[in-house]
Amino acid sequence: MLTLYDYLDSGNGYKARLLLAQLGQPYRRVECDIMTGRTRTPEFLAKNPNGRIPMLELNNGVCLPESNAILWYLGHASPFVPAERLAQSQALQWMFFEQYSHEPYVATPRFILKHLPANSPRRAELPDRLARGRGAQAAATASPTSRCTPTRTWRTKRSWILRRTPRCASGWGAWPRSPGTCRSRSSRRSVRPAHDTKAV
């Protein structure tokens, strides 16, 4: 069985959990609390020297870190990865945009605000990160020749993103029920797969 090393509050970990749920793929989840150094133990570093989650351990013992690499592996030969070459490249374009222009300016500020104390020196990063995030958002919705065109292209060609249900960008209330996911707005942070095994 696949094993996902994960931290429940991780957005990157959630991406892997969501795709596993959508695929109906059984797996075991091992909770790795990054705030207590769980990913810096010798045992974890032996599996992933980069010391980060999520990490997917395959049935043959091979370990695959990096959330988007995990998504690409899981999505292979499924409706979640297009078959046509250009479409595959555009999917990757969107995934690179997410990691380079969303994660550093949205997810990282969220981490700083939620998990670090108010007097943390990292609070000084927030103004610059938020400003860069607004710039990335503006670029993503600019002219069709923008290097961040995935958002514009996907929004215009896939009405489900902003309009008819199921949709994601306009709120959680319209999401249909899926295996291992939770529809409730109030419990969006406590989504757990059916095969949830906490590490001790």
> Per-residue pLDDT tens for 145-195?
454 454 555 445 544 334 444 434 433 344 444 544 444 333 344 344 444
Scanning the chain, the segments in alpha helix (DSSP H) are 11-23, 42-47, 67-75, 85-97, 108-115, 126-140, 150-157
Top-confidence residue, 95 or 184: 95
pLDDT for 117 equals 96
Exposed/middle/buried for 13, CB within 10 Å: 0-12, 13-18, 19+?
A: buried
Whether 126 shows a pLDDT value over 60: the answer reads: yes
Mean pLDDT of the chain: 80
How do beta strands 27-31 and 2-6 pair?
parallel
Instruction: Report the SS3 class of residue 55.
Output: strand
* H/E element, 27: strand 27-31
Q: Quickly tell me which residue has 């010391």 as its tokens.
A: 51
pLDDT in tens, 63-94: 999 999 999 999 999 999 999 999 999 999 99
Exposed/middle/buried for 193, CB within 10 Å: 0-12, 13-18, 19+?
A: buried
Start-to-end CA span in the chain (Å): 20
**Per residue, what are the HEC states of 115-141?**
HCCCCCHHHHHHHHHHHHHHHHHHHHC
The pLDDT-based confidence of 134 (bands split at 50, 70, 90) is: confident
Top-confidence residue, 118 or 172: 118
Domains of the chain in sequence order: 2-80+188-198 (3.40.30.10), 85-147 (1.20.1050.10)
Pair of tokens at residue 28:
């075991």
pLDDT for 121 equals 97
Query: Beta partners for 30?
Result: 5, 197
Q: Quickly tell me which residue has 């590490």 as its tokens.
A: 199
Rounded Cα distance between 10 and 111, Å, is 9
Rounded Cα distance between 182 and 38, Å, is 26
